[in-house]
Amino acid sequence: MVQVFDVHRHFDHPPADEALFRVPPRAEHVEFAEGVAAMSGPSRLDEVFVAVHPPSYYVLTEGIEATRRLNDLAHSVAEVHGAGVVPVGTVEPHHGEAALAEIDRVALELGLTALGWRPRAQGVFADAPTMTSLVARAADRGLVPMVHASAGSGNEALWRVWRLAERFPSVPIVVLGALSDWDQKQEVLAQPDRASNVVYDLTGFFGEAEDIEGVAARLGAERLVFGSGAGCDLLVDGDRAARVVADSALAEPLKRAVLWDNAARLFGLEGAQT
């Protein structure tokens, strides 16, 4: 068995006949959380910790109240599933000042440790001024910023994500899905010094064992973390990237760094036992 910290798992999809997730009322949160698939991870993995993200696409007709309820739901999922689940919240850039207040609430009242953004779902460019304000507030509150960077999305273009990250050189920012496309992976490798505070997850990693060795050598293993991408809209084999790392010729300490240590450090869980 391979022990990992999965930094990228969405806890639910909307029903097949609906395009958007409907956030349940707060009175139903515990029941909903109990019905969420067990957070034990994909087959052949013994995941000690999982960072669970809310759905990227959800009904927003209630405005900020829908987002607040979604963050409460993420908190409930983590509470129901125990200490091995780290909840990730979100805020909507178009909510302006209310989004900043929600970041404060997420950090100070709910005790969440990270915020995730999906710019193409949220109708904003990753490097927009409003995103800069949100990441700044998240960093001030000690939350880990996590940003999707899907190939083919102008909103999530890698150069935009880099520009955002470079405004916060001392803040580690986890970039999700950037290595799932061959061309985009080459772009990352061609400019390893861009946004050196970025940590890349392995959602949908494009390549085999020798490829992960090359990526680790080029970027540094300390800039890689495992992410399954489970529940995301990317069609990925959730545990494939972990198998690639485990089967690689990386030294055992480097394998452990990618699969566990780096994420544990980001989320302040260095002392957690595996």
pLDDT tops 70 at residue 12:
no
pLDDT tens-digit profile of 89-102? 999 999 999 999 99
Name the residue with higher pLDDT: 112 or 39.
112
What angle separates helix 209-219 from helix 182-190, to the nearest 10 degrees? 30
Contacts of 245 (CB under 8 A, 6+ apart): 202, 209, 212, 226, 255, 258, 259
Which pLDDT does position 9 carry in this prediction?
A: 86
Sign of CA dihedral 112, 114, 120, 126: positive
**What percentage of residues in the chain have a pLDDT greater than 90?**
60
* Predicted pLDDT at 259: 93
**6 pLDDT higher than 80:** yes
The predicted pLDDT at position 223 comes to: 98
Q: How many CB atoms lie within 10 A of CB 210?
A: 11
1, pLDDT greater than 60: no
Residue 167 has pLDDT above 70, yes or no: yes
| Number of residues in the chain | 274
| This prediction's pTM | 0.91
Per-residue pLDDT at 42: 47
22: Cβ contacts below 8 Å, ≥ 6 apart: 14, 58, 59
Specify the pLDDT at position 229: 78
Handedness of CA 189, 193, 194, 197 (dihedral sign): positive
Q: What is the pLDDT of residue 52?
A: 84
pLDDT bin (cut points 50, 70, 90) of residue 164 is very high
Residue 209 is classified by DSSP as H
Domains with residue ranges and CATH for the chain: 2-266 (3.20.20.140)
Query: Beta-carbon neighbour count of residue 178 at 10 Å?
Result: 26
First to last CA, the chain: 12
Query: What is the tens place of the pLDDT at every residue in 180-216?
Result: 899 999 999 999 999 999 999 998 887 788 889 999 9
pLDDT tens, position by position, 13-43: 555 556 788 888 999 999 888 877 655 444 4
| Tokens, residue 49 | 């910790």
Provide the percentage of residues in the chain whose pLDDT is more than 70.
88
Q: What pLDDT does 13 receive?
A: 57
pLDDT band at 143 (very low <50, low <70, confident <90, very high): very high
pLDDT at 234 exceeding the cut of 80? no
pLDDT at 24: 87
pLDDT averaged over every residue in the chain: 87
- The residues facing 47 across adjacent strands are 4
Q: Are 137 and 103 in contact (CB under 8 A)?
A: yes
Residue 44 has pLDDT above 50, yes or no: no
pLDDT number for residue 19: 75
Where are the alpha helices (H) located in the chain, listed in sequence order? 29-35, 64-81, 97-108, 119-122, 129-140, 158-166, 182-190, 209-219, 240-247, 252-256, 262-266
17 vs 84, higher pLDDT: 84
